[in-house]
Amino acid sequence: MSEARRVSGNQPDAPEPGRRGASSTVLRKPRSDGGAFQIFIMRHGIAARRGSPPGTGDAKRPLTAKGKKRTEQIAAGLNRLGCEVDWIVTSPLVRAAQTAEIVAAALSKKVSVDVCAALRPGGSAEDLLSFMAKNPDRKRVLLVGHEPDLSELAGRLIGAGSKANLAFKKGGCCCIRFDHDPSRSTGQLLWWLTPRLLRAIK
């Protein structure tokens, strides 16, 4: 799977991470159309293994030191890319909540971070969309959660289902744009980026 994926076929391919020219200029800045919605979908960062520390349940697993550092780098890449977010909604699991807080701290403007149980592993996409619909004025939303739920959610939102093949690595992110309410319309995938490429954006 390529490092960056976009719907539009007439855009130049993004350079490989680490190569000269890997910058925010290779991707279109997400548009801030007054009536449009944007959903950014992001998987949590690298977390401690199950049972580490001993006795820690899955829901309590935190980000590792490496996970925190890489998430900070990813957040900086999103900021340089020009991502503007009104609201961050996260899974209640510790590793996702920590990821959301790191991203919120890195963004150019202060945004609220709320927890939604529907972003837990195995959560309902319908419940998530209903939760988001309670705040229709927040049109640029970052969701932080888990796999394989996020892949399934992204596929559903762009009308591709399981054929979308949008598996997220830890820290990976995509941007989907909607002309109308996401619960009632199909979105357009603007970009899909691996954590490696996000960290390389300068």
Domain layout of the chain by residue ranges? 30-200
Q: Is 47 helix (H, G, I), strand (E, B) or coil?
A: strand
Instruction: Estimate the share of the chain in helix, then strand, then coil, as percent rounded to the nearest 5.
Output: 35, 20, 50
| Residue 13 pLDDT | 39
Q: Beta strands 173-178 and 140-145: pairing type? A: unpaired
Q: What is the DSSP string of 133-194?
A: HT-TT--EEEEEE-TTHHHHHHHHHTT-GGGG--PPPTT-EEEEEESS-TTTS--EEEEEE-
Contact (Cβ atoms closer than 8 angstroms) between residue 177 and residue 30: yes
pLDDT exceeds cutoff 90 at 143: yes
pLDDT band at 25 (very low <50, low <70, confident <90, very high): very low
Average pLDDT of the chain to the nearest whole number: 85
Instruction: Taking residues 142-162, report their average pLDDT.
Output: 94
Burial of residue 69 (CB within 10 Å: 0-12, 13-18, 19+) is middle
Strands 140-145, 87-90: pairing is parallel
**Domain 30-200 classification at class level:** alpha beta
> pLDDT class for 7, splitting at 50, 70, 90?
very low
pTM metric for this prediction: 0.84
Which pLDDT belongs to residue 50? 84
In order of 64, 139, 198, the CA distances from 80 in angstroms are 24, 20, 10
Q: Across residues 151-158, what is the average pLDDT?
A: 95
pLDDT digits (tens, 9 = 90+) for 34-55: 569 999 999 999 999 987 777 6
- Euclidean distance between CA atoms 47 and 63, whole angstroms: 4
**Mind listing the pLDDT tens digit for each residue in 54-108?**
767 899 999 999 999 999 999 999 999 999 999 999 999 999 999 999 999 998 7
